[in-house]
Amino acid sequence: MKRNLFAAGTLTVLALPAAAMESTDGELAEVIVTAQGREQRLQDVPVAVSVVSGADLERVNIKTLQDVTSRLGNVKITTGTLTNPINIRGIGSGNNSGFEQSVATFSDGVYRPRSRSTNAALLDLERVEVLKGPQTTFFGANAIAGALNRSPRASPATNSPQCQRPVCIR
């Protein structure tokens, strides 16, 4: 009796890991970034990059870059009276409104030199990319600490209305 009970218990315990290892046929979605000026898979980019997709922004109801960076490691945007200093890995420009930021901020590839541009609403974005570490070779002298890139969604080819945030486009 004890031997049968022990055998049944052993078989049950051995079968549990096999059941846990069964996976669905679904694969992870490929993450595409434009960190180096061209579309690449995230795993092929030789830079430390954190990406938040537009779908994640909508799903979690993220409205500001401060909300985005609060979910990323080693990235912080502090809201100030004159400036919004951005720090990546502890490096930033401080609170002087006359200084260019140590973190280059881009919106659709256009450089935004002042930190107050981080207050802009995150409407219809494809993704937000944060490149950590010195990026001066590609982004110029103002990317000592890193770069923050907002990539908008492509415009729809149709003329149908889209209501995805507080704004409706017709």
How many C-beta atoms lie closer than 10 Å to residue 121's C-beta? Answer: 12
Q: What is the CATH number of the domain that holds 60?
A: 2.170.130.10
Does residue 45 sit within a domain? yes
| Domain contains 21 | no
What pLDDT score was predicted for residue 130? 92
Q: Are 76 and 66 in contact (CB under 8 A)?
A: no
Residues 6+ apart with CB under 8 A from 136: 143, 144
**Is 94 inside any structural domain?**
yes
Across the range 146-161, mean pLDDT stands at 77
Q: Is residue 11 part of a domain?
A: no
- Please say if the pLDDT value at position 170 is more than 80: no
pLDDT digits (tens, 9 = 90+) for 21-64: 454 556 777 888 887 778 888 888 888 999 998 888 889 888 88
What is the predicted pLDDT for the residue at 162?
58
How many domains are there within the chain? 1
65 in any annotated domain: yes
**Structure tokens of 22?**
């069964």
Per-residue CA distances from 90 to 53, 86, 112, 144, 146 (Å):
24, 9, 21, 12, 11
Is residue 145 situated within a structural domain?
yes
